[in-house]
Each structure stands twice: as C-alpha cells, then as structure tokens.
Amino acid sequence: MLYSSSSSSFTSSSKDSMSSSHCTSFGRLSFELPIFHSQSPFPDKNTPTTLMHHRSSDSTFQDFTLGLNFRDFSLVRQIGSGDIGRVYLCKLRGEGGGKMYAMKVVDKVVLAMKKKVQRAETERKVMRMLNHPFLPTLFAEFEASQFSCVVMEYCENGDLHSLRNNQPLKRFPITSARFYAAEVLVALEYLHMLGIIYRDLKPENVLVRSDGHIMLTDFDLSLCSDSIAAVESPDFSSELPFSSTNSNRAQTSSASTPFSCISARLFRSKKVQTLSNNRLFVAEPVSARSCSFVGTHEYVAPEVASGRSHGNAVDWWAYGIFIYEMIYGRTPFVGPSNEATLRNIIKRPLTFPSHSPINSTEAQARDLISGLLNKDPNMRFGSKRGASDVKTHPFFKGLNFALIRTVAPPGVPGMRRQKTAPFLYKKQRQPKHTASFDFF
C-alpha cells in the first residue's frame, strides 16, 4: 500500500484475522498473476510506440525515460509505511531543492516470509498499466540488493480522510464532496476500462495533489480481469424520472442487452461513425468474478461480507459508501466491532442522519447513494453500465466530465500548497474499522 501506516492490509493479528482455506474465513489473498520482469515502466526513446503518456511533455517525466537506479536518488525522510513496504520522500541527486518524489521500498525477503509476493506483483502490474491524470505515474522501478523499489508522485496534501477531519463537523461541503466524487468516478471508469476491479476505495486511498486534484493509490488488493470495453444500445428511455428505483429498474432491463465488443481496429475506421447516437460506451468488467474476502470492513459490499463471490459491483458499493462519508462524516453501517459492522452491512437498511435533505442537491446525493448501496449486486446502480450510468445521475448535472481537470478544486482547510511541505500522508483512524484486509 502507498503512503500509509493506517490503512495497510494485515494478516497476522489474532484479533483481526485468522487463516483458513475457504472464502468465508480469514486468511491471505493470493493472486495467480503473471510476474513481470521489465526494469523500466517506459519504452526506450528509440522504440516505436502508439501510446503517448499523458505526462510526456513534462520535463521531469522525460528524465525518467532513461534507466535509473537507487544511486540516482537521495532519500529525504520516511513519510509512510504499510503492510508490504515503506515509503520515502526522495529526489534525484544533484537537483538541490528540486522536485520531490515518493519511493516505495519493499523488502523481498520479508515479503516472501509474509507470503505477500503476489500482492506486491499485483500492485506493480497495475501501476505499469496506468496512464491517467487521476492515477499514479510510475516514474521508475529497480532492484537494490534484496529491496524492490518503485518511484511515483508525491502528493503533499495528504488524503481525503485527513482533510475531512479538518473540516467543520468533520465532513465536506456537498459541493466539495461532489467534486471529489466526480474525479474518483473518472478514475474508477478508467480502471474498469482496463478490466481492473479496485476493491479498496476509501478516503485514505484518495490522495490530493498540490493542484487540488485527486490521485487514487494502493492497488495490491485489485482484481485484474480480461474484460474489455463495449458499445451498448440502451433499451430504456432517458426521459424516465431519475430515482434509485428507476435506476435499479434500468439496470435490470439492461442486463438482457448483449454487449457489442469493438476492437481498436474499429476505433480507427470510419465505421464508428455509423453507430447510432443512442449507443453507449461501457467500460465495465461485468464478467470478472472472485471469491476472495478482501477490502476494508466499513466499505465491503454485502456479497463480500456474506462470503459470496463478487465482481465489479463491489466498487460501486464502495463508491456509495465513499460519497456518504464525504457528506455525512461517517460510514452508514459502522458498528462497535468489525463483526458488528459486517452484520450491519448484510442486514441493516440504509438510513441517513436526518429525515429530510436540506436542499435539492443533498436529495440528489441521497438518491445516488441509495442506488449504489443496493444490497443486491445485480440491482445495484452502476453494476451493468458502470460510470456510463452514474455520470448521468442528476447529482452530477451540469458537470462536464471531459473537462473535469479544468474545474477549480475546492479550497478546504488543511490543504497545503508548498511543494515540499512535510506531511504524513495518512492519520490513523481505528484499525478495527478501516484497515484493509483480505481473507481467503
């Protein structure tokens, strides 16, 4: 996990977990993923490539297209630690007060002893795939003795959990919550387009850059699938009133609409112009399934809490919890213990702090949350068409997602603007509620 001492996954604490061999008990998750051996996440300058990184024009990014190793960096201080490594603030040697980076250092011997090698490989595999402004840029990776190192962006403003605790009443204004929810939605859409189910969305894993925009982190609990994007023809009227009931009804009817998968070749041809205007781009790994018990107690979906198999719908449940916590300052099903929290997730109906919303925007937020927190994953808003449906909800009305990076981020108490201001990334909340876990 990145930049974290409080939200790291755990395995051996007797009060939090125990080991077993089936999916309804405690134990460690082991991904059967291929191991990559590339020493550089970037192609050589002389190697032809059809994909340009979104930061390719950045002079600091260009420095990393060269092969770098541990000796090229100067460590400043430790800024975080997690279940599978430590994170250090670092900079390139010889740059004086130059740009700062975050270096995650993993002891491969310790990792093997903890049987977490696959988790580390999963994270590195995912990070090699990423090319998006709301996700980490993997600047370099290399080996140093028994240590494996990756260099990525340093986000000086910390995470949304820490920033939320600095707000009045420990919650964001609804306009700020809407902004952060929109950027997280765009990041989730990109991950799902790659066939990646995140499985660890929570405020601690949403960092804030110096410009106020977000960056998702921590991918060692992610599930990678072979799902690909598709174009689908909606079979319901867009004029229906938007409520969680109608959202679920629309999701159910869309389940019978077959996906029409299109290749990259089609994208480059004029045939794409013949697609009717009501076609919908769907970037959702609907076929991916897992039986692993993985996530954070307050954020796990009912199907995970009850030990059933799960798929992409778990990310949309966590997204609903995320929005709820941003607006109301707590999660809706938290109990006095992890076990009580899981029982509440399975059995207790969703409630809100007050009987009536204070304005129409909060009413729309409640409607969106209600659709996302449907306990039936097949009826859950977003589970069939993903972000394509969620973006159309009235809560996001008037927001141009394509230009979200040009929207001025909200100014919130506790946000720092200095480029190298000391900041411990994540403050610890009670680990019995929020520490990530994976049971097998």
Where in the sequence numbering do the catalytic residues fall? 200
CA distance 127 to 135: 9
What is the distance between the alpha carbons of residues 65 and 285, in angstroms, rounded to a whole number?
32
Scan for tokens 């460690």, then name that residue: 28
120 and 127 Cβ atoms separated by less than 8 Å: no
DSSP secondary structure code for residue 307 in this structure: T
Question: φ, ψ for residue 182 (rounded to 5)?
Answer: -65, -45
Q: Are strands 230-232 and 206-208 parallel, antiparallel or unpaired?
A: unpaired
Instruction: Please name the residues in contact with 326: beta carbons below 8 A apart, sequence gap of 6 or more.
Output: 160, 164, 171, 172, 176, 177, 180, 181, 203
Q: Can you tell me the distance from the alpha carbon of 151 to that of 402, in angstroms, rounded to the nearest whole number?
A: 28
Are 126 and 373 contacting, i.e. CB atoms less than 8 angstroms apart? no
Token look-up 């410009």 returns: 211
Closest CA to 198 of 326, 289, 314: 314
Which of 213, 247, 248, 278 has the alpha carbon at shortest distance from 394? 247
Rounded Cα distance between 222 and 192, Å, is 11
Give CA 267 to chain center in angstroms: 27
With beta carbons less than 8 A apart as the criterion, state whether 157 and 397 touch: no
Distances (CA, A) of 295 to 115, 218, 361, 370, 382: 18, 11, 30, 21, 19
